[in-house]
Structure 1
Amino acid sequence: MDLSLLWIPATLAAAAAQTARNALQRDLTQRIGTIGATQVRFLYGLPFAILFLAILVAATGEALPRPGEGFWPFVVAGAVAQIGATALMLAAMRERAFSVVVAYMKTEPVQTAVFAIAVLGDPLTAASMVAIAVATAGVIVVSHKPGSLTGGGLRPVLMGIGAGALFGLSATAFRGAILAFEDGSFPMRATAALVVALAVQTAILLVYLTLFDRRALTASFREWRASAGAGFLGALASQFWFIGFALTSAANVRTLALVEVVMAQVVSRRLFAQSVSGKEILGMALIVAGVGGLLWSAA
């Protein structure tokens, strides 16, 4: 059986789990602050990632994969880049509206494609590149509000684009780490890389919070039930992201994930009975067209 297209359901599952995690994190932010809610995905996600790995080892009897040359630089670079991306995203959102920051950040698939080619030499066809550009343009159209992308100065613009670049770099680096294992099946390599990445991120953030924001750390312990739920969903989403990265270019994975924007728009309109503007319809049509083109080129 051809398993190469399993990155498609894996990516869709990752997007769904991430949406649920974001909902829990939004609630946690009100109670323990932005930094405290952010670190939950790493600190509370790590035990679940270890559990996923233990279950996989027990079910398959497969040995843990051996890190090859380049594994540690890739996994550390991915871990640090993801933390930096989150920090830039939150900083930009303090200065600009959420939807505006999203518009800048969602240039990520295009930037990821550049990193994938430059760093890993991942092959991307001309059709794939066009599809990525079309889907990214669709997100910007959906998120854009008249005058919002030019008002407020250059600082939040650079932070939003920088966040997208770092998220793209982290996705590329994590794929590089997965490919750098010397052996192992793709689920084993993906899960092992996830455990190592979360361990690195947890260590960095524990040191940072202990030194600079102990209150946020203790607050997350106090809200351990909600934090554990967000951590589980975060680890589940990351598990599927990493499986996608193990099977195809990070640019393909991050572009397909843009369907989350369409889902969110549809759900919000259904729940709140709000009308959909022509601009939003155009943007969603571009996203669907771009994603459809990507899947066609990958088939």
Structure 2
Amino acid sequence: MLWIPFTLFAAFLQAWRNAFQKQLSQDLGATSVTLARFILAGPIAAIYLWLLYRWQPSQPLPHFSALFASYIVGAAICQIVATALMVRLFQLRNYAVGVGLAKSEAIWAAILGVGFFGTLLSPLGWLGVVIGSIAVGLLSGLRRITGVVSPKTLLLGVASGLTFALTSLWVREASLLLELAFPFSAAWVLLLVISLQTILLVSWLAWRDLPSLTGLIRRPKLTALVSITSCLGSIGWFSAMSLESVALVKTLGQIEVLFTLLISAYYFKAKLARHDHWGLALIVIAAICVMWA
């Protein structure tokens, strides 16, 4: 059951990372804001892995294969695309709607996991995934799609959720392929994915958009907050997904929307609607379903 506290920890930090990313997106483009997520995360991930080996020095080093490398590359690229799409959502809609659309990740993870990755979900697990998806829709205001959420916003949200789901599924497959003790496999995958993402984004911005790269340097505090909360949250996500199926982890992780609403209310001074109470109740029910499953 260790996946449960790891997931809750990750969801809490991801809510704050999204809040900091929203602030940064007001002045910078989607690519540079996406880089802020990874730019300091590599050294943190390396220190985390080093501390694990200091704690258990008898643990072996991993053996990498071509299949493992393909999972790492796929996960790295998909997470970059998903994050850039979500940052674009922040610029189109309010904070809660953007996060809510991106959280379609859970239902995509269930569908793709069962269809292509050999994931087995019990009826109770499916019930939790469906209830959680409905809850996210209520909490993010998607019940009033007509005239509120444009087709472009809806398409970006679905695409973000789909690419986040693919990222998570490939991360889990890569962790399982290493066959190391917990949490070493997740720590290796985290370090390799983040390092590749940083190299790709820095190279792209240095080539195509140097001002955006220097823009991050001019906002060191906010960039650091995005990067630190992102890396710590990823430690939680990667660890949880190495222990349990992505669909269940991401459904429980929808508790992030609760944290998001609280941040919206107290940090961004947004007003909460009445239907938020129903959404929160459904989130709790979904969480209970997946934990029992």
Same fold (TM > 0.5): yes
Deviation at 1:156, TM superposition (A): 2.3
Residue in structure 2 matched with residue 9 of structure 1 by the alignment = 5
Residue in structure 2 matched with residue 176 of structure 1 by the alignment = 173
Aligned pairs (5 A) from 1:76-225: 76-144=73-141, 147-151=144-148, 153-181=150-178, 183-225=179-221
- Name the % identity: 29
| Residue 152 to residue 134, structure 1, CA distance change in 2 (3 Å) | closer
| Residue 225 to residue 286, structure 1, CA distance change in 2 (3 Å) | closer
| Residue 162 to residue 276, structure 1, CA distance change in 2 (3 Å) | closer
Paired AA for residue 32 in structure 2? G
TM-score for both structures, normalised by structure 2: 0.90
User: Would the aligned equivalents of 2:99 and 2:257 in 1 still touch at CA under 8 Å?
Assistant: no
Q: What SS does the aligned partner of 1:252 have?
A: helix
Alignment length (residue pairs): 292
Once the two structures are overlaid, the 10-residue window that deviates more, 26-35 or 84-93, is 26-35
TM-score for both structures, normalised by structure 1: 0.88
Deviation at 1:208, TM superposition (A): 1.1
The CA deviation string for residues 87-110 of structure 1, in whole angstroms up to 9 with x for no partner, is 222334433444333333222101
Residue in structure 2 matched with residue 257 of structure 1 by the alignment = 253
Write the distance in 1 (CA, Å) between the matches of 2:24 and 2:85. 19
Paired AA for residue 37 in structure 2? R
User: Would the aligned equivalents of 2:96 and 2:264 in 1 still touch at CA under 8 Å?
Assistant: no
Deviation at 1:128, TM superposition (A): 0.1
Unaligned runs of 5+ in 2: none
Q: What SS does the aligned partner of 1:258 have?
A: helix
Q: 2:54 aligns with which of 55, 58, 73?
A: 58
Write the distance in 2 (CA, Å) between the matches of 1:275 and 1:73. 44
| Residue 259 to residue 153, structure 1, CA distance change in 2 (3 Å) | closer
Paired AA for residue 208 in structure 1? W
User: Would the aligned equivalents of 2:100 and 2:257 in 1 still touch at CA under 8 Å?
Assistant: no
Once the two structures are overlaid, the 10-residue window that deviates more, 215-224 or 24-33, is 24-33
Write the distance in 1 (CA, Å) between the matches of 2:273 and 2:220. 41
Deviation at 1:34, TM superposition (A): 4.3
Residue in structure 1 matched with residue 72 of structure 2 by the alignment = 75
User: Would the aligned equivalents of 1:100 and 1:148 in 2 still touch at CA under 8 Å?
Assistant: no
What's the Cα RMSD here?
Answer: 2.4
| Residue 267 to residue 200, structure 1, CA distance change in 2 (3 Å) | closer
Paired AA for residue 39 in structure 2? L
Residue in structure 1 matched with residue 42 of structure 2 by the alignment = 46
Residue in structure 1 matched with residue 14 of structure 2 by the alignment = 18
Write the distance in 1 (CA, Å) between the matches of 2:262 and 2:21. 21
Write the distance in 1 (CA, Å) between the matches of 2:249 and 2:16. 19
Deviation at 1:148, TM superposition (A): 3.9
Write the distance in 1 (CA, Å) between the matches of 2:82 and 2:268. 31
Write the distance in 2 (CA, Å) between the matches of 1:198 and 1:207. 14
State yes or no: 1:227 paired with 2:230: no
Deviation at 1:260, TM superposition (A): 1.8
State yes or no: 1:238 paired with 2:252: no
User: Would the aligned equivalents of 2:6 and 2:237 in 1 still touch at CA under 8 Å?
Assistant: yes
